[in-house]
Amino acid sequence: MSLLEKAHRILALLEKHYPEFKGGLTNYSTPFQMLVATVLSAQSTDKQVNSITKELFSRFPDPESFASSSIKEIENSISRVGLYKNKAKYIFELSKKLIAKYNSIVPTSITELVKLPGVGRKTANVLLNDWFNIHEGIAVDTHVKRLSYRMGLTTKIAPNKIEEDLQRIIPSENWGRITHLFISHGRAVCKAQKPSCKTCFLLNLCPRVGVLEE
């Protein structure tokens, strides 16, 4: 079976088993708020981020409100998420840059998004795929990385290389969905420690690269 055919079958099975796939972040109502929530989610759980964003966005709904605040005030509002000091600085700086360079409008290309402080390819891809329905790339998080490797869809370790490999075998209209499907499967079955291979619906398609036999 070609890699293309294998990816097609894996995608179909994931869609069948996780029909309700969607991102774990909630509480945002504009692309700017989604961008900030996604920046906050780096090395933090969606649950942690969701626990602060309702209050955060009622106080700071737009770039202007963050930019007219101070890094210290933002730190105080986000102190329950990991790396909050760095993230407060990023949010303050990216708000100022959005106002100064983009008229407070979130840009809609990876090239422009990654110029914003605290925004890497993963964050840019999440925003473009999930909010704008623009499929420029695939967001590679820890689940996408682990599952792609185990399933033999890539042999690479660097997220940008994994993204390139996945882009070659997954049709672009599925680039947003694949991240959520891999996250769903990574949380439910193909966990980092002790994946449930024996009962996994992908077992026949999966070489289980790097998985230790029980």
Identify whether 165 is a catalytic site residue.
no
Task: Rule CB under 6 A: choose which of 99, 114, 134, 197 binds ligand SF4.
Answer: 197
* Distance of alpha carbon 109 from alpha carbon 135, whole angstroms: 10
Q: Binding residue for ligand SF4 (CB under 6 A) from 40, 124, 128, 190? A: 190
Query: Shortest Cβ distance from residue 50 to ligand SF4 (Å)?
Result: 27
Q: How far apart are CA 135 and CA 177, in angstroms?
A: 10
Residue 208 interacts with ligand SF4 (CB under 6 A)?
yes
- The active-site residue out of 96, 97, 141, 156 is 141
**Do residues 43 and 49 lie in contact, with contact meaning Cβ atoms separated by under 8 Å?**
no
How many whole angstroms separate alpha carbon 64 and alpha carbon 68?
Answer: 6
Site string for ligand SF4, 35-74 (x = CB under 6 A): ----------------------------------------
Taking CB under 6 A as the criterion, which residues in 131-150 touch ligand SF4? 150
| Token pair listed for 198 | 């024996």
CA-CA distance, 53 to 161, in Å (whole number)? 32
Active site residue 141: yes
